Amino acid sequence: MRQVSVNGLAGLYSTYNSPTVAVASAQLIKGASTATTGMDPEGSAGASMNIETKRATDEEINKIGFGWYSNNRLQETFDFGRRFGANNEWGVRVSGKYRDGDTARHDYDEMNKELAIGADYRGDALRVGLDYMYSKRDTDGGRARLQDLQNLAYTVPVAPNGKTNLNPHWLEQTTEDETVMGTFEYDLPYGMMLSGGLGHMESRYSGAFGQITSPKQNGEFEVSGIRGIDFRSRTTSGNLKLQGDFEAGAISHNWNLAFDSVIRQRDHDQSSKTNGKIKGGTIYAPNFAQLKNFDLTANTQGVDSKLSANSLAFADTLGFVENTVRLTLGGRFQWIKQQDKKAGTEVKADRFSPMVTLAYVPNPDLVLYGNYLEDLEPGNIDVETGEMNSPRVSKQIEVGVRKNWDNWLTTTLSAYEIRRPGIIRGNKAALKAQAGKEHGKERNRGIELNTYASVLNNTLRPSLGLTYNQAKVFDFPTYADVITDGVQVTSPRWMAKANVEWDTPFVANLTLNAALQYYGKSYQDSTANYRLPSYTTVDFGAKYVVKVADKQTLTLRGGVENAFNKHYWQVQRGQYDRSFAVLGMPRTYWANMEYSF
């Protein structure tokens, strides 16, 4: 998922990395979310997330940590927070992480550096936050991807041991992000609040990579398309929001008006040639050929573009019958400008995305709801004519129910349908004139069940999530410019996740946990001739808290991921219904300790 906001500002979370030290909490919005968050600059559809950064608390925060991850990665962390002033109105929080060493995969090592600084002011009416975030990740070896499995006339070979590295060690990548932002909230008369923010992020992704195309049935493979890259992007994001509530007779209103703006500039360089192929032996015993006459210098302009998305959103939740019936009406109007500086073209488009939700809440423990939402993705540019298609629109309908059972069990059940148009690639002569045009559709239709429980005086906390998803394509243009009907590739019909935490009665302050993830079978081609197998992974962990002194604690954590060392392909679906697979990581052990004082 790429559609991630930070403190309500879109596009300011790392595109190629997943830093965590700045994160205090995260809110996931499932399904279409353009009406609430705006269009994502990376063209994501289906879900969004907002991350809230850490803030100093009234109690002092002093934490240092040390960790170990197999095979030989060491990690150091720190987290400090203070509040100052007569009423603790000023606060500073500083967090960091450094991790370096060999992963559980042969010839795959990584280095991670993260730093987050958050300062805030909280007054009676005004609250202000300032954040600085930095992250860098270097990898050698990396995770190789099997490319375009939909082209194979046979089933992909059985996955090897996850310790196997399908990339030569000299293929390395570096991601680096630096972000600054400021946000505020101000309480106005009549129950209104004005809020907003402004931020900027500089990102870089550099190094070299290759892909595995057409692995043979016996496991023999080659790494091809090897090129050097230097991808840079600059993102500026801002918003301004006014919200409030009032009552008009028997109807309550909870409304908000928001303006959002996101500007992303991309400057992508790459090596002038793809350097052919190198033989890798078999996926079960890789033996890479010698590197000869390879030029990985990123000296050729690939992309030089700028995307601007300005939008105005309005929503009003009307409460009827003592607020037991809640109707939300709203939407977002967006003005989009896309520039291709390499081709010297500039095009514009606009679109309104409606939002309608209806909820019936007869009591605090029961909610029945339904909604209609839309997602937007940037339109494609025709380099020759400069024409940009209207933004691609995905449409979602959902109905569901949430029930709390006597404060020990919560269940949610929902049914949904999401439709998204296909886009013609236009590489074949017969379809070249229609390149970038919409054609056909993909459809996801399914049911989700989630349960969360707290039993035995909240000492046992199990949860279960189950999804049935029917993913199909109709009259859909593929990467090979073939119009097809069938299943969406690499899209499991069944998925399940189960977790449990147990505060043990036999050892005080000891918590045991376990997690299970199941991904059902899927297909590497839309005609469902070749099946990708299902797989299940299981994790175990434990936490033990030792009270050292009055305000000093030592927290010990440990665990094992993929405990039974399952060998599996982690499937991925690409644009134009392309079929990819990445080798799942092997059994991985980890342990850390955190001292709080």
State residue 349's pLDDT score: 83
State residue 85's pLDDT score: 96
Report the candidate in 305, 383, 382, 308 with the shortest Cα–Cα distance to residue 343.
383
State residue 278's pLDDT score: 85
Q: Enumerate long-range contacts of 11-14, CB under 8 Å, 24 or more apart.
A: 11/40, 11/41, 11/42, 11/201, 11/235, 11/237, 11/262, 11/264, 12/179, 12/181, 12/199, 12/200, 12/201, 12/235, 12/237, 13/51, 14/135, 14/175, 14/177, 14/203
Mean pLDDT by 10 residues, the chain (597 residues): 85 91 89 64 70 97 98 97 97 98 96 98 98 97 88 95 93 95 98 98 92 90 88 97 96 97 94 78 89 77 89 97 97 90 82 95 97 83 52 92 96 97 88 87 98 96 98 95 95 98 97 98 96 98 96 97 98 92 97 97
Q: Please state the φ and ψ torsions of residue 229, each to the nearest 5 degrees.
A: -135, 150
Q: Tens of pLDDT along 501-523?
A: 999 999 999 999 999 999 999 99
Q: Tens of pLDDT along 1-21?
A: 567 899 999 999 998 889 999
CA distance 225 to 239: 41
pTM, two decimal places: 0.90
Residues, the chain: 597
CA dihedral of 483, 573, 535, 139, whole degrees rounded to 10: 150
- The Cβ-side half-sphere exposure at 590, using a 13 Å CA radius, reads 24
Are 63 and 94 a contacting pair, CB within 8 Å?
Answer: no
State residue 385's pLDDT score: 47
Are 403 and 364 a contacting pair, CB within 8 Å?
Answer: no
User: What secondary structure letter does DSSP report for 391?
Assistant: P
Are 566 and 586 a contacting pair, CB within 8 Å?
Answer: no
Report the candidate in 92, 59, 96, 62 with the shortest Cα–Cα distance to residue 80.
62
For every residue of 331-342, which 3-state class applies, written as one string? EEEEEEEEEECC
Which residue type sits at 592? N
Complete domains list, the chain, with CATH: 4-557+567-596 (2.40.170.20)
CA distance 436 to 434: 6
Give every CB contact of residue 537 below 8 A, 6+ residues apart in sequence. Answer: 516, 517, 561, 562, 564, 566, 568, 584
